[in-house]
């Protein structure tokens, strides 16, 4: 008993050491903002956080249904496991890198490492203006954490059916750290240079979709085509999963966009309306496009169009009126449909069209924000830098372009460097036999369905 | 003993089964297969891509019968499975050397 | 560059023209109610809206599991696509038809077309009394929008496995416009005649369930039985989908009913309790009924009973005490079980029992509201027009009967007219070959599962 | 017409009689607390309730994917049906047994039978301190009701693939009444002896996980191994269901833990962060453990680890800082992995590892609460009874041990008695033929998938 | 060469496979089939409707063996698959003219 | 008439089908099967438990052809299905007594 106590004691000491280093006990920092937590706003942001969380498993189903049967678990797991790995990193250092006190407009400092120094009150001034002045800062932490999870998860669609789990794991850790955290800081962090510039991104057109879309393109190019690219057709094995995933993604997206108001107010309600309008219009227009072009309206087209519409409306969702969202969605459908077609021409194998939908949809959405943003919807939009179609001035559109181009290229380049590095450490893709047998059995030793005797 | 192996449309399975039942053939084994033949396939669409699919879902119905029942079986199946359209399927006949009932170990035509 | 600018300019002009016509820029109208947005109420209504949204994809799974394998995608898509088409229509003109300033008690005017004139505040007086005085009107717009989506989606169960996609599409557009929007106005719109009459429908017994149930019956009769009705048995191909859908429907239904309080208060909490009680009791009683009748308690019976209970408790959910809800659910199970059995006798082919469950369940629920509604639960219930079992007066029950009968017949008749019209434009049902091959391949060129080699 | 009226009258009389007995009309009791309902807190608790509800169908999918194909519906139904049966019981007498006015620290009285006497205001003093002083008591009723549903549902994993539906039904009714309700009272009920003692359990480590885990162990031992235990391998038939279920469970767990704050405040936000941290760390650590041990990281491992982490962090979620949650999760993964391995050694057949994950994870979580609970996170933690690693005092740890041991043994013993009783009434398990054919066909007369011709 | 084709209960597959392994027969092909025979079917229920289902899940195990192994194979299968209840299944024997190993192009009994 | 029955890797199905098409054999029936032979199985993991799985997914391709086409069919299949690795599969030949086209009732080689 004494010995055990001793062990506990020394265990406790060790723990305390680590704790001090990481700031474990620090939740109740003394300083803090004078602002008060509002229960209604907090309720909405927490509910939204849960909604955004669900998008990642939903994405797993969405993606998982589109691959061949032998890769279904590997594909879902490549989404789901990011809830684990990126979830831990976010608390350890991701949040402080992205949202911590600014260093040169480029990155957050390590002041809030391990969430140390955060208390149960709203973020202190001047952060509260961006991180919510009526919600506990931890609500901001975890709401943003869900974005840090889904963004790398989106990329996995590009290298589905061939990337090794080990390489994937290292890649994700590096990408979350070196691409996502800085880019989130640029756009949404207090002092980030793109935010300061006045580029608008309500819920992640650049940070989430362009950033992951560009990375996806890079991955598809570097990792190469799936075995059998010219010979076999890689048709989806279980579209019921994909349709279920679509429902969950759309559902979660309400938190994504309307939660980004960080309050339960008129802006949130407008973002909610606008989100649904964009998704609905995207669904309809993609289906019409393929109906005209190929002669059949498809289930997968409806699903893809909804996602395209959601992607496109995301950056605009806090700045535009409902009818503008309908227009954004109506264009997003055919635009993404065309870009998915283009893929075949350029012969790169972005397995599940991450670039075609998230990249292109995100770019269109960021531009559309520059066309339709109105300060009447959101006073954050400067009256002299509203959308081109509102005031005829292209000032905002120019800023949007800068944001698009810089995030696109930063993500492309750094993703390329990361892949090169990972490739040195461990092979990026499975060998031919493993690819033939399927990633489920070769990477995980499992099979998706045991329907046979 | 002859094995009568019919490749039929899945939608006719029920009828074929009943037709065989009617002439006293109760032992059958059914397998879900894909078949290609004269019948045209479908076109599938997957995000702007078109795929011609010419393996269609069919049912394979197998029944091992004494020689004297073969013609009845063929007639029954043909009647129940035929729609007059291409894709109705084929029947193949092949000789079975012996049959054993697992439960009892019995052998020969009696076990059918 | 100059040319491009020019094009942008003229694009902008064209857009502005359309915008003016549709009232795009109009979100920030000057007038408005003095009422203030409450963050807590808004948080709950927005969360509820997301919940109700999820019901439609959930319904897709619920229905999709019950059809044959070859029709699974078509069936899910017939639900999912309504999120698109009805989603867009609602913003363009649905909301104003249903909830706009009243025209003769029958329909809303076009004043709020394209949501023009709505601002981020609560609905102006006198609308605020019905549309929420503490939530932004856009929250009411989108909450109600989800009802406008799920209601037509419910109907699709009646014509599953045979209706052509094109005919379905035209049908849905017309039905949403000519049946749903007016009926919603009658019951819930400010000035609607059934609402004025004092008929009670908290969350959609008449508007949603009787209305769609009657339409479903009409569709089943007009479109006719599935090929092979007498010969084959149409057994469900994947009940795991149906059970998953049941979970999502029940989950979403909390938003449906408790969200209809348009506030996060005691009434919402009571509606929540009552909803769960009704669903639970319906599940138990259906299963007991079939256990006694057929000798087996089934999974599909549990699912069906839960939905029957939910349907029945819906109109009552804001007016009755929890124990009354248990009683309502206990009766709903066997009642719907019987009506599903009756279908076989009358030999109409309502594929997935929309009338048997939503029609009959909705009627029972509307009647039950006339039996159990208590002004102690909700002061909206006039003390002299409470439920028969509360005060012994049949006044309310009479009003409920009027509401039931008028919605039932209106929906039956107008649905019939719409189907006739659609049938003139394009064949309603697939030809025999297409039905044999399955709707997935014939309508959409897709297959649900590619599990084969 | 007259006759009908008469019948209605007498129906009404009968109903009124029952109503009086059960207290149907009693929602609006006159007395009540002076406390006022806060819309924000209510919004969050209602949203959380919906989230917790979804866990049970989610659990159905999680479990259903792990059994053999022939048992999938029976397994899902064993979860889903508890939403029905326990849902009804909770309203009739469960709530009052668990949370009604205390009788000797052991059980609640029947004062609130049928929810009689509850009104739409917060619970009266002194209950409001525990049941929420800013939410309607019915919100507490239904939030807690969801816990009363999921807890027995967890047990079903232990006897999956062999227990008869009838026996299951009686077992669940008795268990919910004789085990869950008292234990919930001990820990969370006003006046319950473990709560009074100062044992901490924020969201159900003892009440939910240890209690169901112990019962599961008992069931596995009493009911015996599945047929073919030594000969066949019972591998999961559809892990996509399990992964989908994992997503829903994790999602719902945010309501489970963060909703347990019964308010939308900093504590809820911290609980949310901590929940995600625990789940994420558990996922990562389980996968690492199996990767090292067996050479493959698996999808099911990721899912199991997430659940293990969630279980472990549950009791601690309102008392610890985020980094502590990471530590809790990191240990939960390997701990549960080891205990699942141990099962094979001891040769009992807890089909889906309920004890290995919920039992062991719950024990670790309850202990961890004794290690990391900090009054700086939650003032409910007495400063002189904080976690061992916070102050070096083992006072709290001792109380946690008492809680663990008493709940563990109470549940073990009473479960054993219940099983014995049920076994007298009806055979517990299916006969060999039925087990061979599968529980879907033998218990329910259904098949999960009709994928064959 | 003889093809031994056994229709067995799915729950006996593992045992049958092991029994064949034990006597040195490693090459087998297994198909999931539905079978009707003497065995009674199930009743399924679907919303108040009753369906009699008499196609039951079975496994077809095929192995092509040299003539001299046929009796051993039959014995092994019979033993491993039999429960004594109706529905244990049947074994059919039929002659195989030749066998080719795809990898090498070899022919004859040697490839088995 | 001979039934050519090939057990191949699923990933080679497309190629085998095309190879047969090229030599004028259009009628084929494909079944999804599990096979054991010389090829090593996989190891599966399920919560700390290891399972050796040695029934692997294969495709059975059956085509009934006139005697004179048998060698061509064998060559086509062998070429298209072979990777040189263990597990490429086997082809079995067996005699078919007669064939009937269901649609027309015709019999004999002509129906193939
Ligand atoms: N030579 C053959 N060998 C094996 N199976 C065949 C052959 N010819 C046809 N089949 C099977 O029969 C099915 C129907 O054949 P098809 O030629 O399409 O129709 P029909 O017999 O009416 O002309 C095919 O899908 C295939 O499964
Ligand atoms: N004549 C037959 N032809 C083909 N398959 C048969 C025949 N008789 C039986 N079978 C197969 O064998 C299985 C078992 O047969 P059954 O008659 O039910 O059992 P038992 O052989 O024990 O009497 C059937 O389900 C069917 O798949
Ligand atoms: N004797 C046999 N009888 C039936 N099927 C066989 C036999 N031998 C092999 N097979 C089938 O052929 C497949 C490939 O055989 P295998 O021995 O693994 O490869 P290889 O022929 O390249 O040596 C097996 O999976 C099995 O389906």
What would the pLDDT profile of A387-398 be if each residue is shown by its tens digit?
A: 999 999 999 999
Tell me which residue of C260, C252, C306 sits closest to C281, measured CA to CA: C306
Mean pLDDT of C33-51: 91
Probe site for chain D from E10, E42, E58 (most D CB atoms < 10 A): E42
Q: What is the mean pLDDT of chain A?
A: 93
Tell me which residue of C192, C180, C187, C178 sits closest to C108, measured CA to CA: C192
- Over the stretch C343-372, which tens digit does the pLDDT of each residue have? 989 999 999 999 999 999 999 999 999 999
Mutate to test the pocket of ligand 2, among B2, B17, B29, B77 (most ligand atoms within 8 A of CB): B29
Residues of B whose CB is below 8 A from D453: 10, 13, 30, 32, 57, 59
Burial class (CB in 10 A: 0-12, 13-18, 19+), A31: exposed
Q: Which helix (H) or strand (E) holds F35?
A: strand F28-36
HSE, CB side, 13 Å, CA atoms: give it for residue D401: 8
- Over the stretch A193-202, which tens digit does the pLDDT of each residue have? 999 999 999 9
Minimal C-alpha gap between B47 and chain E (Å): 33
Mutual angle of helices A165-175 and A395-425, in 10-degree steps: 140
- Over the stretch C244-294, which tens digit does the pLDDT of each residue have? 999 999 999 999 999 999 999 999 999 999 999 999 999 999 999 999 999
Decide: C453 and F81 in contact? Cβ < 8 Å.
no
Burial class (CB in 10 A: 0-12, 13-18, 19+), C395: middle
Mean pLDDT of C170-189: 98
Q: CB within 6 Å of ligand 3 — which residues?
A: E 27-29, 62-64, 101, 103, 112; F 7, 35-39, 56, 58, 86-90
Torsion of CA C302, C306, C308, C313, to 10 degrees: 160
Residues of D whose CB is below 8 A from F45: 290, 294, 296, 298, 300-301
Mean pLDDT of F35-49: 90
What's the CATH code of the domain at B28?
3.30.70.120
- Over the stretch C87-129, which tens digit does the pLDDT of each residue have? 999 999 999 999 999 999 999 999 999 999 998 999 999 999 9
Q: What is the mean pLDDT of chain B?
A: 94
Ligand nearest to the CA of B7: 1
- CB distance B100–E91 less than 8 Å? yes
Nearest atom within ligand 3 for CA of residue E25: 1
Q: Which domains does chain D have, with CATH numbers?
A: 47-111+149-444 (1.10.3430.10)
Q: Can you give the C-alpha Rg of chain B in angstroms?
A: 17
Interface partners of chain C (CB pairs < 8 Å, 3 or more) are A, B, D, E, F
Structurally, chain E folds into a number of domains equal to 1
Interface partners of chain D (CB pairs < 8 Å, 3 or more) are A, B, C, E, F
Is this prediction's ipTM beyond 0.90? yes
Cα B6 to middle of ligand 2, angstroms: 17
Whether the pLDDT of residue D31 is over 50: the answer is no
- Over the stretch D217-251, which tens digit does the pLDDT of each residue have? 999 999 999 999 988 889 999 999 999 999 999 99
Q: What are the two backbone dihedrals, phi and then psi, of residue D230, each rounded to the nearest 5 degrees?
A: -85, -20
Chain B segment 55-94 residues within 8 A of C by beta carbon are 55
**How much is the pLDDT for B40?**
85
Residues of C whose CB is below 8 A from E44: 235
- Over the stretch D296-333, which tens digit does the pLDDT of each residue have? 999 999 999 999 999 999 999 999 999 999 999 999 99
Locate the chain E residue with the closest alpha carbon to A451.
E32
- Over the stretch D254-309, which tens digit does the pLDDT of each residue have? 999 999 999 999 999 999 999 999 999 999 999 999 999 999 999 999 999 999 99
Interface partners of chain A (CB pairs < 8 Å, 3 or more) are B, C, D, E, F
**How much is the pLDDT for D7?**
47
Tell me which residue of D445, D452, D439 sits closest to D76, measured CA to CA: D439
Whether the pLDDT of residue B6 is over 50: the answer is yes
Tell me which residue of C88, C222, C103, C215 sits closest to C154, measured CA to CA: C215
Which residues, 6+ apart, have CB-to-CB distance to D260 below 8 Å?
A: D48, D202, D203, D204, D271, D317, D318
Q: Label residue A71 by pLDDT band (50, 70, 90).
A: very high
Whether the pLDDT of residue D17 is over 60: the answer is no
Contacts made by residues A393-396, CB under 8 angstroms, sequence distance 24+: A394/A370, A394/C5, A394/C8, A396/A198, A396/A200, A396/A369, A396/A370
Decide: D162 and D430 in contact? Cβ < 8 Å.
yes
Distance of alpha carbon D56 from alpha carbon D89, whole angstroms: 16
Distance of alpha carbon C292 from alpha carbon C274, whole angstroms: 27
- Over the stretch B19-58, which tens digit does the pLDDT of each residue have? 999 999 999 999 999 999 988 888 999 998 998 888 999 9
**How much is the pLDDT for A18?**
52
Per DSSP bridges, beta strands E90-95 and E2-8 are antiparallel
**How much is the pLDDT for D452?**
72
Q: Which helix (H) or strand (E) holds A76?
A: helix A72-89
Please indicate if any CB of chain A lies within 8 Å of the CB of D306: yes
**How much is the pLDDT for C452?**
72
Mean pLDDT of C65-86: 98
Decide: D328 and D316 in contact? Cβ < 8 Å.
yes
**How much is the pLDDT for D34?**
54
Minimal C-alpha gap between E3 and chain C (Å): 24
Distance of alpha carbon D5 from alpha carbon D442, whole angstroms: 46
Cα E108 to middle of ligand 1, angstroms: 28
Domain membership of residue F107 as a residue range: 2-111
Mean pLDDT of D337-353: 95
**How much is the pLDDT for A7?**
47
Handedness of CA A411, A412, A414, A418 (dihedral sign): positive
Nearest atom within ligand 1 for CA of residue F111: 21
Handedness of CA D203, C49, A41, A318 (dihedral sign): positive
- D14: its two tokens: 């009968």
Decide: A299 and C73 in contact? Cβ < 8 Å.
yes
Nearest atom within ligand 2 for CA of residue B30: 27
**How much is the pLDDT for D51?**
98
Nearest atom within ligand 2 for CA of residue E88: 22
- A105: its two tokens: 């407009």
Which residues does chain E have with pLDDT short of 70?
none
Q: What is the DSSP letter of F9?
A: -
- C251: its two tokens: 């989950």
**How much is the pLDDT for C232?**
81
Q: How far is CA C342 from the centre of its chain?
A: 24
Whether the pLDDT of residue C21 is over 70: the answer is no
Residues of E whose CB is below 8 A from D447: 44
- CB distance A298–B45 less than 8 Å? yes
- CB distance B7–F30 less than 8 Å? no
Q: Label residue D451 by pLDDT band (50, 70, 90).
A: confident
Residues of B whose CB is below 8 A from C435: none
Distance of alpha carbon C90 from alpha carbon C108, whole angstroms: 13
Whether the pLDDT of residue C319 is over 80: the answer is yes
**How much is the pLDDT for D339?**
97
Cα F58 to middle of ligand 3, angstroms: 9
Q: CB within 6 Å of ligand 1 — which residues?
A: B 7, 35-39, 56, 58, 86-90; F 27-29, 62-64, 101, 103, 112
- Over the stretch A285-320, which tens digit does the pLDDT of each residue have? 999 999 999 999 999 999 999 999 999 999 999 999
Minimal C-alpha gap between C372 and chain A (Å): 33
- CB distance D444–E45 less than 8 Å? yes
Minimum CA distance residue for ligand 2 atom 13: E89
Whether the pLDDT of residue C402 is over 60: the answer is yes
Region of residue C445 (phi > 0: left; psi between -120 and 50: alpha; otherwise: beta):
left
Please indicate if any CB of chain E lies within 8 Å of the CB of F94: yes
Chain B segment 32-61 residues within 8 A of E by beta carbon are none
**How much is the pLDDT for F89?**
95
- F80: its two tokens: 């298209």
- CB distance F48–D298 less than 8 Å? no
Locate the chain A residue with the closest alpha carbon to E34.
A453
Which whole-number Å values give the CA distances from D33 to D120, D124, D382, E2, E56, in the listed order? 10, 4, 26, 86, 63
Mutate to test the pocket of ligand 2, among E7, E41, E82 (most ligand atoms within 8 A of CB): E7
- CB distance F103–B94 less than 8 Å? no
Max CA pair span of chain D: 80
């Amino acid at each position: 008993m004494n010995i055990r106590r001793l062990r506990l004691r020394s265990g406790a000491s060790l723990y305390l050491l680590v704790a001090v280093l990481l700031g474990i006990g620090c939740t109740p920092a003394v300083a803090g903002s004078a602002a008060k937590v509002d229960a209604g706003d907090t309720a909405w942001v927490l509910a939204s956080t849960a909604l955004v969380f669900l998008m990642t498993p939903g994405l797993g189903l969405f993606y998982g249904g589109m691959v061949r049967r032998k890769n279904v678990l590997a594909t879902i797991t490549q989404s789901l496991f990011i809830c684990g790995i990126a979830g831990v990193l976010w608390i350890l250092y991701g949040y402080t890198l992205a949202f911590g006190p600014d260093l040169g407009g480029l990155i957050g400092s390590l002041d809030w490492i391990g969430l140390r120094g955060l208390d149960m009150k709203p973020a202190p001034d001047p952060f509260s203006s961006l991180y919510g002045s009526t919600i506990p800062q931890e609500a901001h932490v975890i709401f943003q954490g869900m974005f840090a999870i889904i963004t790398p998860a989106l990329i996995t669609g590009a290298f589905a059916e061939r990337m090794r789990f080990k390489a994937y794991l290292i890649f994700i850790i590096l990408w979350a750290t070196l691409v996502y955290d800085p880019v989130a800081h640029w756009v949404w962090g207090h002092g980030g240079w793109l935010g300061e510039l006045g580029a608008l991104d309500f819920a992640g057109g650049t940070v989430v979709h362009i950033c992951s879309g560009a990375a996806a393109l890079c991955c598809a190019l570097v990792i190469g085509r799936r075995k059998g690219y010219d010979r076999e057709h890689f048709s989806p094995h279980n579209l019921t999963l994909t349709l279920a995933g679509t429902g969950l993604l759309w559902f979660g997206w309400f938190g994504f966009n309307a939660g980004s108001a960080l309050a339960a107010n008129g802006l949130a309600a407008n973002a909610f309306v606008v989100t649904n309008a964009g998704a609905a219009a995207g669904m309809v227009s993609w289906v019409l496009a393929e109906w005209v072009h190929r002669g059949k309206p498809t289930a997968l087209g409806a699903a893809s169009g909804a996602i395209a519409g959601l992607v496109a409306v995301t950056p605009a969702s806090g700045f535009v009126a409902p009818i503008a969202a309908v227009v954004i969605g109506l264009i997003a459908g055919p635009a993404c449909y065309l870009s998915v077609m283009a893929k075949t021409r350029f012969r790169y194998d972005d397995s599940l069209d991450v670039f075609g939908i998230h990249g292109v949809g995100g770019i269109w959405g960021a531009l559309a924000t520059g066309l339709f943003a109105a300060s009447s919807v959101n006073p954050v939009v400067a009256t002299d830098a509203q959308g081109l179609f509102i005031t005829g001035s292209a000032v905002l559109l120019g800023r949007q372009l800068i944001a698009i181009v810089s995030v696109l290229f930063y993500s492309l380049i750094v993703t390329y460097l990361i892949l090169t590095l990972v490739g040195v450490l461990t092979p990026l893709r499975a060998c031919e036999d493993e690819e033939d047998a399927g990633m489920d059995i070769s990477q995980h030793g499992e099979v998706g369905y045991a329907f046979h005797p | 003993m002859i094995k009568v192996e019919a490749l039929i449309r899945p939608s006719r399975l029920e009828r074929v089964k009943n037709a065989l039942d009617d002439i006293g053939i109760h032992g059958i084994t059914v397998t879900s297969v894909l078949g290609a033949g004269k019948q045209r396939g479908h076109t599938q669409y997957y995000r702007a891509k078109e795929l011609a699919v010419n393996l269609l879902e069919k049912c394979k119905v197998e029944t091992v019968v004494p020689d004297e029942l073969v013609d009845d079986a063929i007639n029954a199946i043909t009647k129940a499975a035929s729609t007059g359209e291409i894709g109705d399927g084929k029947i193949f006949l092949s000789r079975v050397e012996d049959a054993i009932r697992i439960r009892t170990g019995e052998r020969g035509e009696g076990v059918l």
